[in-house]
Amino acid sequence: MSFYYQRTSASDYTERWMDPWGIVTNRDRLYLVGHDLDRDAPRSFRITRISELEILNPETTDLEPYGPFHEPPPDTNLQQLVINQLRQGMTLVDATLTIEPGKADVLRSRAHQTRRHLQTHRRRRRLAHPTSRRTSPSRNRHRTPRNSHPNHQPPPQGTHHGQA
């Protein structure tokens, strides 16, 4: 097959030729996985960045320079192939920037957006996995659950906890 691929939203489209092996999902994204004929190696391509996909007909297209179809090696895990490719070249670095007031407004805006995104992500993860952050049941074995103690008195109506 052949298609045009845009690696990032700022890059140009490049023509790619591939022997396809399958489609894999990773983090709510779809990836086409196969053997990249130009690079002679397994590769994955995010489907939303592919355009003008064409299934090549061996009877009408000269495929001789690329040889026979490249089958995936035995025991190839397409999911792991995508994950490994996405990790290549990724190094996380913590940085602290000191910026004068009134400067780099776009950068400041992105930092606030990222902070809000992380807070939302953490909140969603806690809601999706409410027990993952709690103490294990064996450590709470002798602890009386909150509000179930026989002497527990609910706060009077109209007051907030901690206020009289």
Within-domain flag for 19: yes
Within-domain flag for 15: yes
Within-domain flag for 151: no
Class of residue 88 by CB neighbours under 10 A (exposed 0-12, middle 13-18, buried 19+): exposed
C-beta neighbour count of 140 within 10 angstroms: 11
Within-domain flag for 38: yes
Q: What is the DSSP letter of 50?
A: E
- Length of the chain, in residues: 164
pLDDT band at 58 (very low <50, low <70, confident <90, very high): confident
Within-domain flag for 108: no
Domain span including residue 21: 2-87
Within-domain flag for 131: no
Count of domains for the chain: 1
Within-domain flag for 21: yes
Using the predicted structure, report yes or no on whether residue 99 has a pLDDT greater than 90.
Answer: no
pLDDT band at 78 (very low <50, low <70, confident <90, very high): very high
Beta strands per DSSP E along the chain: 2-6, 13-26, 29-36, 41-46, 50-54
Within-domain flag for 13: yes
